Amino acid sequence: MKNFELFLTQSGIPIFYVKIGLGFIFSFLITFFSVPTIIKISRRKNLMDEPGMRSSHIRKIPNLGGIAIFYSIGICASIFAYELFDLYKFLFASLVILLYIGVMDDIVVMRAYKKLVAQIIVSSLIVIGSDIRIRSLFGIFGIYELTYIVSVIFSIVTFIILINAFNLIDGIDGLAGGYSVICSALFGISYYRLGEYNYPLVVLSVIIIGAVMAFLYYNLSNYRTNKIFMGDTGSMLLGFLLAFTSICFIDIFIDRALPNVPRYHLQSAPVIAVAILILPIVDTLNVIIVRLINKKSPFDADKNHIHHKLLKLNLTHRRSSFYIIIYYLFIVSIAYYFRHININLLLGVILLLGFLGAYIPDFIYLMKNNKKTNN
């Protein structure tokens, strides 16, 4: 690869743009041509997702699409964003562990505590081994720099929450995949604007977009024989990668004396990251709060997720995913526009808008019922 880069440099061709182009094309094609094989094997071996109480589908669907996403990202990131694996030694190992745990859970359904132990191990590897952690809260609740121990614990908990939060929003066609594409695009654009030191993260974001867009072609398919879910393998993998990219994004704005690394100042960086990931954060917090209020276990399955509420309004999967993503993109735009105001005020506004979005479907449902009653 380095010889290829040298050839491009001597030819006057920008290496970065070649990596972006090839990274997207190959990640898309690898996923696109891998999924049909996975569907065929899944049907032959009956490795299917069975409809259940929380399911929004009525027939058995293959649920190993996450394998194709991992396959694509693992190959393309190693080739076109190899600098990341040099810099963060435990990144690839973490992805492999998540692949194993995800596939096991998709096939035989692992116990929750076993998945949690694996997630703790993966998060610890990346936080402690690769030093990817939240070092400061930038003044949120008056807290600035965190001690090493607090930073490590807080970062591990953040990884675990986001990994599981993405798993929870993967309830209807196109939502987890579409939201991952949007998040990766937003982080990728941000990294691009922050300079060439962050270019490997831009390439990684583009590779994720390519892999997930190819998956969405099948996930949103109207043909029964083509349809596939990403399963826990895909949702955990994407949740982990987006947690990784969001913490890297926050870390850019921390004033550390590192050689040849430019630093930037944006007081609201953590809130911008929260705004980009607001859907899984709010959806998870909301269902946990509702379950606790109803004196149920936070781990009990129910249909209080935002996507379930929209389906209750007789919307299709595609329309529900589209409306959710558009609303939360609106929240990101608010966060970006007001990025220079007080950080605690901005966080409050973002969370308020996030929870409002979780209850707008309930208001619409009540209004519809009232109209029917009055008529």
Residue range 269-320, pLDDT digits in tens? 999 999 999 999 999 999 888 888 887 877 777 778 899 899 888 888 899 9
pTM for this entry: 0.92
The answer, yes or no, to whether residue 25 has pLDDT greater than 80, is yes
Q: Closest Cα to residue 208, out of 2, 30, 5, 86?
A: 30
Q: Tell me phi and psi for residue 145, to 5 degrees.
A: -65, 135
Mean pLDDT estimate for the chain: 88
Average pLDDT for residues 347-368, to the nearest whole number? 92
Q: How many CA atoms lie within 13 A of 360 on its CB side?
A: 14
How does residue 233 score in pLDDT terms, banded at 50, 70 and 90?
Answer: very high
Task: Locate 240 and state its tokens.
Answer: 């982990």
The neighbouring-strand residues paired with 140 are 143
User: What's the pLDDT at 165?
Assistant: 93
User: What's the pLDDT at 54?
Assistant: 55
User: What's the pLDDT at 6?
Assistant: 60
On whether the CB atoms of residues 39 and 225 are closer than 8 A, the answer is yes
| Secondary-structure breakdown of the chain: helix, strand, coil percentages, each rounded to the nearest 5 | 70, 5, 25
Residue that the structure tokens 């990131």 belong to: 77
How many other CB atoms are there within 10 angstroms of residue 370's CB atom? 10
Q: How far apart are CA 306 and CA 359, in angstroms?
A: 8
b/e per residue 32-52 (b: at least 16 CB within 10 A): bebbeebbeebeeeebbbeee
The answer, yes or no, to whether residue 144 has pLDDT greater than 60, is yes
Q: Closest Cα to residue 253, out of 341, 334, 332, 191?
A: 191
Average pLDDT for residues 12-34, to the nearest whole number? 91
Average pLDDT for residues 32-40, to the nearest whole number? 95
Radius of gyration of the chain (CA): 21
Task: Give CA separation, 52 vs 60, 61, 86, 277, 288, in Å.
Answer: 10, 12, 43, 28, 20
Q: Closest Cα to residue 354, out of 282, 260, 264, 254?
A: 282
User: What's the pLDDT at 294?
Assistant: 83
**Percentage of the chain exceeding pLDDT 70:** 91
On whether the CB atoms of residues 192 and 252 are closer than 8 A, the answer is no
Stronger pLDDT, 243 or 303, i.e. the higher one: 243
User: What's the pLDDT at 102?
Assistant: 94
Average pLDDT for residues 167-196, to the nearest whole number? 92
The answer, yes or no, to whether residue 342 has pLDDT greater than 80, is yes
Q: How far apart are CA 22 and CA 311, in angstroms?
A: 38
On whether the CB atoms of residues 125 and 93 are closer than 8 A, the answer is yes
User: What's the pLDDT at 302?
Assistant: 75
On whether the CB atoms of residues 99 and 67 are closer than 8 A, the answer is yes
Q: Closest Cα to residue 138, out of 278, 18, 253, 273?
A: 253
User: What's the pLDDT at 252?
Assistant: 86
User: What's the pLDDT at 353?
Assistant: 95
The answer, yes or no, to whether residue 262 has pLDDT greater than 60, is no
Contacts of 198 (CB under 8 A, 6+ apart): 191, 192, 252
- 11-20, 29-38, 86-95, 249-258: the lowest-pLDDT one: 249-258
How does residue 51 score in pLDDT terms, banded at 50, 70 and 90?
Answer: low
The answer, yes or no, to whether residue 333 has pLDDT greater than 90, is yes
